[in-house]
Amino acid sequence: MGFTPEKRAALLKDIRQLLIMAAIILTGRSVLADWYVVPTGSMKPTILEGDRVFVWKSAYQFRVPFSRVRLFETGIPRRGDVVVIRNPDGGSVPFVKRLVGLPGDIVELRNETLYVNKKAQPTEFLPELKSDDGETILLGTELLDGRPHPLRVLPDRPAFRTFGPITVPEGEVFLMGDNRDESRDARFFGTRPIRDLLGRGVGVMWSWNQQFFKGPRWSRIGRPFITDAQRATPN
């Protein structure tokens, strides 16, 4: 049984509407807001492996949809922002890090203490914890330019705990992971251009346990990023 002209016209209308809706959604994800799955633990305890992070892609700049062409600036990055940045190694998976240094800042790390413009960023650590295999874990709350965020330190592990001081070049930023001793960040790949920032993370949209059959982490879904180590989990 064939289509009547009326049914064919109705079908074509439905297809057009679906295509328009898809184009609007994809365009919005390209330039306004999107979400990213975080595959590594470099931002623990703020972001866990398997978290899907909601990102304002238009937080700093507005681009031509589906391109790298920057049209105009929409905002200024701040110290303490959680940012998504183009993969510095050229891969397809973006990095999620914390912005700790702005253009002109002097950034230094001395035995896990972060200094910005020669001022130590105070950190208050909780009592030490032990992982299942006996490794020491320290969770703390760092005040970065007065903005609190949690961090994680693994003192038993060899790590890049001292560097700098370095001056952040004009038009670039310095990024670090909250999981200080398990993060590939600016200590290794250097400062990055502001134009490479893909957006600002604002919270966890969805989270699935690394052990797949344990299912979703319900307590993390639809939540802003934690700012206090007291609310963090070590794993």
Residues catalogued as catalytic: 42, 97
Expressed in percent and rounded to 5, the helix, strand and coil fractions of the chain are 20, 40, 45
Q: Which residues contact 28 (CB under 8 A, 6 or more apart)?
A: none
Q: How far apart are CA 151 and CA 177, in angstroms?
A: 8
Q: How far apart are CA 166 and CA 191, in angstroms?
A: 10
Closest CA to 176 of 72, 51, 73, 46: 46
State the SS3 of 96-156.
Answer: EEEEEECCCCEEEEECCEEEECCEECCEEECCCEECCCCCEEEEEEEEECCEEEEEEECCC
Q: How far apart are CA 122 and CA 111, in angstroms?
A: 13
